[in-house]
Amino acid sequence: MKTRITELFGIDAPIIQGGMHHVGRAELAAAVSEAGGLGIITGLTQPTPQALAEEIGRCREMTDRPFGVNLTFLPAVTPPDYPGYVATIIENEIPVVETAGRNPEAWLPKLKEAGIKVIHKCTSVRHALKAQQIGCDAVSVDGFECGGHPGEDDIPNFVLLPRAADELSIPFVASGGMADARSLVAALALGADGVNMGTRFLATQEAPVHANVKQAIVAAGERDTRLIMRPLRNTERVLLNASVERVLTIEEDRGPELAFEDIADEVSGVYRSIMELGEVDAGPFSCGMVAGLISDIPTCAELVSRIVEEAETLICGRLASLGVE
């Protein structure tokens, strides 16, 4: 299956694995790239630029295919060593960087000079247009359904994607709610050049997280996510659990007076306990509504080939049979 995204990144299938904190390690990125998609190592999951260099080295031992690195710019009490991470990415000749969270303009000259392709993840058409204007090669358009940070506009992909298609000239992928061949074919029909998946790749054999996390996603339905941190304008879609219920109660009690410190104990530094130890109630963790479409834990190769093969059947079978005579 050839699209502008497969051409741009030199991959076989128009399927990207989005950066995921404490999930996007070498094992997963390599498995997705080996399967023909684009795997992405999550830069800031590595505590230092040196650790990222080692993780890139581990990934290269597992695959010869292209993979990327995600750089997330989110509000942080102590900002990470972004210059150091960017230098590591360049020194290690990473071909693709996925940026997210904030306008990546400050880092573009360095990345572009090194010949790196930049795909920026954004949740609105205006931010996608800005990314195009500053020179990003592609965008990942993240709808309201998505796991993680959906922004504050709340536009679902059935409207957001065709709006993006109307406005953008650079390639873009549909992100948020993508799980299977139906998602891919719908995304292509709405004007996208492929899909970006987070939650679906979290529930795969190679995702280097505790089995409890994968089981929690398989068990969850489409109604089992919640939005937290909305009053802080840092909205995150997470899987409902006991900690999320406590956060929502605090948010309701504090109303517009809510400060990050009010919920810091619940949300800070919890990913390690959740992802590594499998303590799935230890705190909130990102998860998309797409959990309702996930009922198995395949290998990345099974997942990617299933999506591509079933998409071809869907296009050439059901959709072709609807063609007017």
- Please give the biggest Cα pair distance in the chain: 64
Whole-angstrom distance between the N-terminal and C-terminal Cα of the chain? 26
Rounded Cα gap, residues 223 and 220, in angstroms? 8
- Between 88 and 286, name the residue whose CB sits nearer to ligand FMN: 286
| 121 three-class SS | strand
Q: How many CA atoms lie within 13 A of 212 on its CB side?
A: 11
Rounded Cα gap, residues 152 and 236, in angstroms? 10
- Between 211 and 319, name the residue whose CB sits nearer to ligand FMN: 211
* Least distance from ligand FMN to the Cβ atom of residue 45, Å: 7
Structure tokens at 287: 């998860």
- Between 36 and 288, name the residue whose CB sits nearer to ligand FMN: 288
* Least distance from ligand FMN to the Cβ atom of residue 40, Å: 8
- By CB under 6 A, name the binding residues for ligand FMN: 18-21, 23, 42, 70, 72, 100, 121, 142, 145-148, 175-178, 196-200, 202, 285-288, 290
- Between 184 and 287, name the residue whose CB sits nearer to ligand FMN: 287
- Between 89 and 202, name the residue whose CB sits nearer to ligand FMN: 202
* Least distance from ligand FMN to the Cβ atom of residue 70, Å: 5
* Least distance from ligand FMN to the Cβ atom of residue 316, Å: 26
- Between 36 and 147, name the residue whose CB sits nearer to ligand FMN: 147
* Least distance from ligand FMN to the Cβ atom of residue 29, Å: 12
Sign of CA dihedral 156, 127, 81, 96: positive
Looking at the chain, which runs of residues are DSSP E strands?
15-17, 39-42, 67-72, 96-100, 117-122, 138-142, 172-175, 195-197, 225-228, 236-239
* Least distance from ligand FMN to the Cβ atom of residue 221, Å: 14
Residue nearest to ligand FMN (CB): 198
